[in-house]
């Protein structure tokens, strides 16, 4: 009996101390980690999407709430005037979720461009969705474009061999365009 | 003298991937470049040294029946610390190593040293053992990563070594998984050939 209690006691104590140390360390680094992810993962993509902006886009970000969900909004400015916005959305691809950063010119409601943030598509086939050749097509399209692939009756050229991946990107863009009017309204009202 | 030996044995006599042939999964997977190998090696040195110190310090407190569970908790704690630290301060390394940082928890080199050495020896000897084995592990990773990077991409620590003509037609097979096996095998063969007369 004594042995069992000792086992339980020692193991609980070790786990407890370790958990305490980890939560302390987590609290100390959480902010920096979040910042690093912004700088290294989303940051470069946002800069590509809003390439004509001359402000520090990463710093000029804010979180807004659309339909009860938080949207991290990046704002591109020309001079002091907000010119374009970009936010991330998700679509279902062949191998998993595809995360896409979509940028909008708020002056004439066109897409300034899209960039794939992350995807799990087949290397060499579905991964072509991240190539410039595919993403540059979306630059300058209006938000009223039918963002489905041509075989499905839309306006977007699919990639041969990677139909599902291209559809996933389109789905992400449709999700993004769907909330665009609300995002724009909220941004301008602030 | 004898305590210093605990450090130096890890550098040749008990060189982890080549002599003990332990912990091969990360060895093969992350050595696409010398830089990755170095990053992984440093992470392992940190975890190995500290887990050895703690396991050794607590060796008389931990009941025998729950020792493995206790070691894993201690090792996992240091691994998570390393993971958060690389994410916060060396993000590119974190991205390159990916899943292999959390997988250090189940790296049998570390559990092996805790069970075979730290649980039976003093704190100082265990720390030196951890540092030595870790240094050996790092050295192996850097050599393997360097070799693969040099042949496969024509660079070393991202510095261009080979001519531009070589780099544009480089032997990129070495960067793939089979290249890792072949590289490891050749190095193992060389090491065995070098030390064959003395080992008998």
Domain range enclosing A118: 47-189
For residues A154-181, one letter each, b for 16 or more C-beta atoms within 10 angstroms of the residue's C-beta and e for the rest, the string is: bebebbeebebbbbbbbbbbebbbebbe
Is residue A91 over pLDDT 60? yes
Distance CA B166, CA B173 (A): 14
How many domains, in total, are found in chain A? 1
Summarised one tens digit per residue, pLDDT across range A143-184 is 888 888 888 888 888 888 888 888 889 999 999 988 888 888
Query: Would you say residue A26 lies in a domain?
Result: no
Is residue A88 over pLDDT 70? yes
Query: Would you say residue A135 lies in a domain?
Result: yes
Query: Would you say residue A126 lies in a domain?
Result: yes
Query: Would you say residue A168 lies in a domain?
Result: yes
Copy the structure tokens of residue A16.
């407890």
Query: Would you say residue A69 lies in a domain?
Result: yes
The three-class DSSP label of residue B13 is coil
Query: Would you say residue A157 lies in a domain?
Result: yes
Contact B89/A at CB under 8 A: yes
- pLDDT value of position B200: 44
Q: What is the mean pLDDT of chain A?
A: 86
Give which of A1, A8, A10 to mutate to test B binding, by max B Cβ within 10 Å. Answer: A10
Query: Would you say residue A3 lies in a domain?
Result: no
Is residue A25 over pLDDT 80? yes
CB atoms B88 and A33 under 8 Å:
yes
Q: Average pLDDT, stretch A29-45?
A: 85
Query: What is this model's ipTM?
Result: 0.76
- pLDDT value of position B197: 59
Summarised one tens digit per residue, pLDDT across range A100-147 is 999 898 888 888 889 998 888 887 788 888 888 888 888 888 888 888
CB atoms A18 and B69 under 8 Å:
no
When CB atoms are compared, the residue of A3, A15, A40 closest to B63 is: A3
- pLDDT < 50: residue spans in chain B: 1, 199-200
Query: Would you say residue A97 lies in a domain?
Result: yes
């Amino acid at each position: 009996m004594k042995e069992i209690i000792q086992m339980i006691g020692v193991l609980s104590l070790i786990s407890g101390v370790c958990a305490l140390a980890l939560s302390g360390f987590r609290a100390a680094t959480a902010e920096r980690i979040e910042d690093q992810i912004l700088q290294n993962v989303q940051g470069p993509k946002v800069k590509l999407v809003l390439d004509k902006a001359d402000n520090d886009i990463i710093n000029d970000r804010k979180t807004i709430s659309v339909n009860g969900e938080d949207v991290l909004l990046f704002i591109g400015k020309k001079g002091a005037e907000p010119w374009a916005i970009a936010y991330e959305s998700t679509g279902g691809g062949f191998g998993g979720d595809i995360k896409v950063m979509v940028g909008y010119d708020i002056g004439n409601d066109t897409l300034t461009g899209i960039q794939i943030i992350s995807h799990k598509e087949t290397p060499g086939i579905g991964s072509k969705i991240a190539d410039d050749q595919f993403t540059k097509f979306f630059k300058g399209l209006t938000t009223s474009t039918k963002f489905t692939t041509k075989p499905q009756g839309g306006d977007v050229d699919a990639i041969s061999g990677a139909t599902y991946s291209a559809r996933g990107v389109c789905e992400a863009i449709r999700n993004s365009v769907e909330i665009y009017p609300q995002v724009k309204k909220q941004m301008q009202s602030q | 003298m004898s305590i210093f030996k605990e450090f130096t044995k890890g550098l040749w006599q008990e060189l982890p991937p080549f002599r003990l042939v332990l912990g091969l999964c990360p060895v093969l997977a992350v050595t696409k470049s010398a830089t990755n190998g170095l990053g992984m090696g440093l992470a392992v040195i940190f975890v190995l040294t500290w887990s050895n110190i703690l396991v050794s310090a607590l060796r008389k407190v931990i009941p025998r029946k729950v020792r493995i569970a206790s070691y894993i908790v201690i090792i996992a704690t240091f691994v998570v610390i390393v993971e958060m630290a690389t994410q916060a301060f060396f993000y590119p390394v974190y991205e390159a190593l990916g899943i292999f940082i959390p997988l250090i928890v189940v790296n049998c080199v570390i559990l092996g040293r805790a069970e075979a050495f730290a649980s039976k020896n003093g704190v100082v000897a265990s720390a030196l053992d951890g540092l030595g084995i870790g240094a050996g592990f790092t050295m192996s990773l850097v050599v393997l990563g360097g070799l693969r990077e040099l042949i496969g991409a024509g660079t070393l620590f991202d510095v261009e070594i080979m001519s531009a003509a070589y780099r544009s037609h480089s032997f990129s097979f070495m960067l793939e998984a089979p290249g890792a096996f072949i590289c490891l095998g050749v190095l193992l063969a060389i090491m065995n050939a070098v030390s064959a007369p003395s080992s008998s």
